[in-house]
Amino acid sequence: MKSLKLSLLFLLVITGLFSNAQTADDIINKHIEAIGGKDKISNIKSMQMESVMTVMGNEAPMTTTILNGKGYRNEIDFNGTKIVQVITDKGGWMINPMMGASDPTAMPDEQFKGSRAQIVLGGPLMDYASRGYTVDLKGKEKVGTVDAYKIVMTTPDKVATTFYFDPTTYYILKAVSVINMNGQEAETTSTFSDFRKTDIGYVLPYSSEITSSMGFSMTANVKKVEMNKDVDPKIFEMPKQ
């Protein structure tokens, strides 16, 4: 009788372990739901954020405009010097006088491949399978004091990004990716915090810290968010020389 009870107890424990085990899809679905839900996010037409970026102690205003699924435009003003980066569903371009490029320049293909998910509100995990992305759950790993879920997402172009999810809120705490910049591979780590819900229920991190293996680091703090503002698609077009 004692051995039968032990066997039943063992069976209940094993069944409980399997029933509580989470897949990559389970975690991603809970993440999408936590930041607003698929239906709500899919119906957002646009988002514009005004932030303050800090680099090496210097602050600069930054404006980010996203037309959902169509275009992403980021502008930073360093004491009158404007840096522009634009990504669309077809390609990208940039203006960066601080790197010797005062005229609009086409974004290198490898950099575009690693950045184009920025045009999608909700992030690259929204409907990832329909875009040919794959995901792989790699267990858990510490992010600060949090034992976070670790999921690697790979695009059809073999660009991999590792996401770390809070097991309580299912927000993304950190993302690590490798992109090609000027012919060199650079690992970029983005850490997110201060999550807030916008007036339409979409949750965003209002604070982020970005570091690169190339020695670059910055922080960005969101000051204002406007949802579904009218956006002229022409702002994503590369100016003709």
Is 12 a residue whose pLDDT tops 80? no
List, in sequence order, the alpha helices (H) in the chain: 2-20, 24-34, 38-42, 109-115
Q: What is the pLDDT of residue 183?
A: 65
Q: Does the residue 11 lie in any domain? A: no
Q: Does the residue 4 lie in any domain? A: no
CATH of the domain at 196: 2.50.20.10
The answer to whether the CB of 119 falls within 8 A of the CB of 88 is yes
Closest CA to 164 of 41, 36, 31: 31
Q: For the chain, what is the domain count? A: 1
Strands 71-78 and 184-197: unpaired
Q: Does the residue 194 lie in any domain? A: yes
Q: Does the residue 15 lie in any domain? A: no
Is 192 a residue whose pLDDT tops 90? yes
Q: Does the residue 227 lie in any domain? A: yes
If pLDDT is split at 50, 70 and 90, which confidence band does 113 have? Answer: confident
Q: Does the residue 17 lie in any domain? A: no
The domain of 96 spans 23-236
- What is the average per-residue pLDDT within 29-48? 96
